[in-house]
Amino acid sequence: MSVLLEVNNLKKHYPVRKGFFGKTGAVVKAVDGVSLSIKRGETLAIVGESGCGKSTMGRSILRLIEPTDGEILFEQDDIRKLNPDQMRRFRTKMQIVFQDPYASLNPRWTIREILSEPFRLYEKLSASELKDRVSELMQVVGLSPYQADRFPHEFSGGQRQRVGIARALALKPQFVVCDEPVSALDVSIRAQVLNLMEDLQEQYSLTYMFISHDLSVVKFISDRVGVMYLGRLVEMAPTDDLFQNPLHPYTKALISALPLPDTEVKRERIILSGDVPNPQHPPAGCAFHTRCPSARPECKSVTPEWKEVSPGRSVACLLY
């Protein structure tokens, strides 16, 4: 599989607004030097607790928010070097599905208006062509075209997310960032939407970046997983390897909290002490040292490097 997207040392730093006693120049390093690559047709999951920077990273890759630094190579083109007009045309190749389909769909627009919008912006279609394209899109995501003139509130959560997916696919993108696409849905319909996303991936040769805090969803859908903590990747591995043999102490703790389908295996749950530190004041050395059960004295001062420990497996931890 060839590489579709390569990200090098991506950063998104936000200036902190000056408080009453605040000093100037403080920044939150929401994404702080992430490098990764995604192969054509694969699903790379990005996991981590809320506030770890995974959504900011997804949006920065699409330039929905402007990165502070780093390179984003899409089919070897550095998209940070595109001017606004080039970027506008480029957008058709990269789309996003949002977590909350209700918040991301205009409540005053019918489904037809919502799904017509991308075509109006990018393609000149006749009224009858537009009608056909909207019907086709609705069928592709398992909705009845007869419902096109209804409003979002007339649909269930799962159906609304199907509309959100249809809108993302309207212009036939190659790459889709899926930002917690099933987290807002009832557990009972998550599998249906995930199955739909897998079918569409195959049908349209899509490449996914699947952002989630839910490891059971990630295990189901992804080919590889990147684990993020406080703005950085701490581990990257093929999905099966990560779940069978997690290397980073943070990954170990996340996986130990998953319910086991196989009751034969005895496994101890690792409870992490404390909360995720304030990203405005990340700990020195390894940012995880304040919660790490395996921390050593040097972890407080030495920042672990991102290292490939075996083919396809990388980790940032002083134990390796």
Q: Using CB under 6 A, list all residues that contact ligand SF4.
A: 248-249, 286, 288-289, 292, 294-296, 299, 304, 317-319
- Between residues 34 and 218, which has the closer beta carbon with respect to Mg ion? 218
Amino acid at position 219, single letter: K
> CA 296, CA 294: separation in Å to the nearest integer?
7
- 64: helix, strand or coil: coil
Contacts of 65 (CB under 8 A, 6+ apart): 12, 56, 59
Task: List the single partner that 224 binds among ligand SF4, Mg ion, none, CB under 5 to 8 Å by kind.
Answer: none
Nearer to Mg ion, 203 or 245 (CB): 203
The nearest distance, CB 259 to ligand SF4, in angstroms, is 24
Q: Which residues pair with 209 in a beta bridge?
A: 44, 177
Residue nearest to Mg ion (CB): 43
Continuous segment of H or E residues that includes residue 71: strand 69-74
Report d(CA 304, CA 52) in Å as an integer.
18
Return the residue matching tokens 């070097």: 81
Q: Which of ligand SF4, Mg ion, none interacts with 43 (beta carbon under 5 to 8 A by kind)?
A: Mg ion
Min CB(41)–Mg ion separation in Å: 8
Nearer to ligand SF4, 112 or 248 (CB): 248
Select the binding partner of residue 174 from ligand SF4, Mg ion, none (C-beta < 5 to 8 A, by kind): none
| Site of tokens 């919008």 | 117
For residues 285 and 303, is the Cβ–Cβ distance under 8 A?
Answer: yes
Give me the least distance between CB of 201 and Mg ion, in Å please.
Answer: 5
Of 210, 221, 105, 220, the residue nearest 156 (C-alpha): 105
Q: Which residue's CB is nearer to ligand SF4, number 158 or number 249?
A: 249
Does residue 239 belong to the site contacting Mg ion (CB under 5 A)? Answer: no
Q: Which of residues 33-72 bind Mg ion (CB under 5 A)?
A: 43
Nearest CB to ligand SF4, comparing residues 170 and 233: 233
Binding site for Mg ion (CB under 5 A): 43
